[in-house]
Structure 1
Amino acid sequence: MTVKLLSIMYLRESAPISAAMMAPVWAVLVLILLAAGPRSALAQDNERSTVYLVGSGNVALDQHMQSLLEKRLGAQRDLLLISDQQAALTGDAPIITLGSGAFSRIRQTNRGAPVLALLTEQHFLEGFASRSPGRISGIYHGAPLLKQALTGKAILPQATRIALIATTNSAKLYDRLIDQLPAYNLEARLFIVDDNKQLIPTLIRALSYGDFLLAAPDNDIYNPRTIKHILLTAYRRNRIVIGPSRAYVKAGVLASGYSPLPAIAEMAGTYLEVFSETGHFPEPDYVPDFRVEVNQQVARSLNIPLAPPEQIARTVEARLNDPGGANDE
């Protein structure tokens, strides 16, 4: 490319060339630069650092997150949306992925790239982050299970026992929670579902034990095929369901904690600043900003009085700071 540019400069100095004659030449040069990939194209006369973004495939969500991230990054960084194939050309620039699918694809395309994963669950990401500390990190999606459990306690102050259902493979999702609950005067029992035919019978046994059912982000148990049957079974036995995510509240779950997307973008910006200064991401974590969404229609049908979501969230935070429960509202 250098030889071609020198040749063009020589021609311009030695003989007059019309704009019409030069147009095809410059068009070829532009195509060459673009074909070199996003890294080469952006390197031209650009002193700002570049952050790459790989979307989830949900266009509305991807556009919203891109807008939030661009606002957070400001004028100091360029945020460039790229395809999976282009991720192989990003060098050591950080890549933000939206969702576990995008993260998995980028790991296949460019295993050495520093990746900041957003909208992924803790149990999915933490193994990758522990094997590549500082290079793989993220902002966990949703809310910690302990906060979800305390959301149920805030709604049902007299509750002391929590029902959990899982498969043999997903039982580990609840290990840490079960150890944490006694400090908050709560206990939980895990009921294992070995196959789909045992889901409802196992659920019935679990509901006879617990004051409410706590759902983790376990797609084998809680998915579009099963959630209707789980909710109907629980509500017929006058038991509420908490979690696993904000989306399930719209499907009929009574309540769930969540992290607002603007707070995720804000925390992602902080992680990128640390990476720019040190070459390493902080460890993955949840957003401190905890919110609660409730389904008022379900609450009315079960005759359960609900405090405003903001008050429920404050009660959860107060209980975290005072495990003994003196701060219950």
Structure 2
Amino acid sequence: MILLFFVTVVSAAGAPSRTVYVAGSGNTALDQHLTKLLQQRVGENTAVLPIAENELSSIKDAPVVAVGPSAFSKARQANRSAAILGMLVEEDLVSRFAERSPGQISAVYYNVPLLRQALTGKVILPHATKVSILATPTSAGLYEAVLDQLSGYGMQGRVFLVESSDDLIPTLIRALGYGDFLLAASDDAIYNPRTIKHILLTAYRRNRIVIGPSQAYVKAGSLASSYAPFPAMASLAADYINAYFNDGTLPPPAYPEQYRVEVNDQVARSLNIPLPDREEIAGLVNEKLAETGGPDNE
């Protein structure tokens, strides 16, 4: 049995005049939370309603907020004329769709820009000058931009290729020998539940920290990660929805403007690394980005 829910606010003048549909992730608590945040931000004249997968093809003249990569892909395949705004999706999934269908396909990106993650590591280790990145042969090109950007912040980076699962730990050891910290990206071929314990233990034994790839991995043993809070993502999504109703198009995909930092205090103590508080780290990262043009430079 599928539990359907909706959050809608009816104004004193009557029923809402605009409708936004939410294609959920399947996680009821998460979908309800995002729907509530969206409803609070889009205004009383807009209803935010759930929609079942088999109803997606019938949507006309209303945007769909697709929560997560599966919902995004299903919504796109079910209705190729609908305006779709992805949430909790990453840039490498959405960007090619948005380029082919500008104004119709967009997203609030969930993954953290790598430059922001690298600067999180720099704030924690001010004397860091070298950054290691693990990549597969197919993902190595994704790191060209951040490698070019690091020099503007007194750092240089190097990508170490993991060509097979058997090469992961030997390649990791070489990477840890080069870098002051390991910058972990959202690359499921390398960072996944099967490998993360081995990666973190290997780094710990060599007195190296891991930054990223997400808030969840900090709980597993990464030292720190920036992350976008849900209210910040919902605020940007609401701006995009209002823009759609104003001119019929969605703005280009973008990252939220606000980020916080999660840290693992136990790992920091074990490695004798003094940590500023979370708010101070996030503030210093923002200051560094502002010096070179602000968040757009990410």
Same fold (TM over 0.5): yes
* Aligned residue among 279, 283, 287 for 1:318: 287
Q: CA separation of 1:291/1:47 partners in 2, compared to 1, >3 Å: closer, same or farther?
A: closer
Q: Structure 2 CA distance, aligned partners of 1:187 and 1:300?
A: 27
Cα deviation digits, residues 160-201 of structure 1 (max 9, x gap): 000000111111221111111111111100000111000000
Structure number, greater radius of gyration: 1
* Among candidates 146, 160, 182, match of residue 129 of structure 2: 160
Q: How far apart, in 1, do the equivalents of 2:282 and 2:133 lie?
A: 22
Contact 2:129 / 2:155 at 8 angstroms: preserved in 1?
yes
**CA deviation map 1:295-328 (0-9, x unaligned):** 11111111111000100011111111235xxxxx
Measured after TM superposition, the shift of residue 242 of structure 1 is 0.4
Segments of structure 1 that go 5 or more residues without pairing to the other structure are: 1-44, 324-329
Match of 1:289 among 258, 263, 280: 258
Equivalent AA in structure 2 for residue 265 of structure 1: A
**Structure-2 residue corresponding to 1:221:** 190
Q: Distance in 2 between matches of 1:320 and 1:115?
A: 30
Is 1:243 aligned with 2:225? no
Q: Does 1:52 align with 2:21?
A: yes
**Paired residues for 1:35-184 under 5 Å:** 48-184=17-153
Q: What amino acid does structure 1 have at the position aligned with 2:49?
A: L
Q: 1:259 to 1:47 in 2, by over 3 A?
A: closer
1:304 to 269, 273, 276: 273
1:226 counterpart letter in structure 2 = T
**2-structure distance, mates of 1:232, 1:271:** 42
1:211-258 CA-partner distances (Å, limit 9, x unpaired): 000011000000010000000000100000001111111111110001
Distance in 2 (CA, whole Å) between partners of 1:112 and 1:170 is 31
Whichever residue aligns with residue 126 of structure 1, its letter is S
CA contact (8 A) 1:142 1:257 kept: no
SS of equivalent to 1:75:
coil
Distance 2:71 2:240 in 1: 19
Aligned partner of 1:261 among 207, 219, 230: 230
Under a length normalisation based on structure 2, what TM-score does the superposition of the two structures give? 0.91
CA distance in 2, matches of 1:134, 1:63: 26
Deviation at 1:46, TM superposition (A): 5.3
The more displaced of 54-63 and 228-237 is 54-63
Question: Higher helix share goes to which structure?
Answer: 1
Distance 2:125 2:196 in 1: 22
Matched to 1:109, the amino acid is A
1:55 shift after superposition: 0.8
Q: Is the 8 A contact 2:25 2:31 kept in 1?
A: yes
What is the identity, as a one-letter code, of the residue corresponding to 1:303?
Answer: N
Q: Which runs of 5+ in 2 are unaligned?
A: 1-13, 293-298
Within 2, Cα distance between the matches of 1:83 and 1:103? 13
Q: Distance in 2 between matches of 1:90 and 1:270?
A: 21
For residues 76 and 186 of structure 1, what CA distance do their matches in structure 2 show? 49
User: Aligned residue for 2:296?
Assistant: none
Runs of 4+ in 1 over 6 A off after TM superposition: none
Task: Please give the secondary structure, in 2, of the residue aligned with 1:119.
Answer: strand
Per the alignment, residue 15 of structure 1 pairs with none
Superposition deviation, residue 47 in structure 1: 5.8
Residue in 2 aligned with 1:201? 170
Deviations 1:131-153 (A, max 9, x none): 11010011100321100000000
TM-superposed deviation, 1:67:
1.1
Partners of 1:67 and 1:47 lie apart in 2 by 16
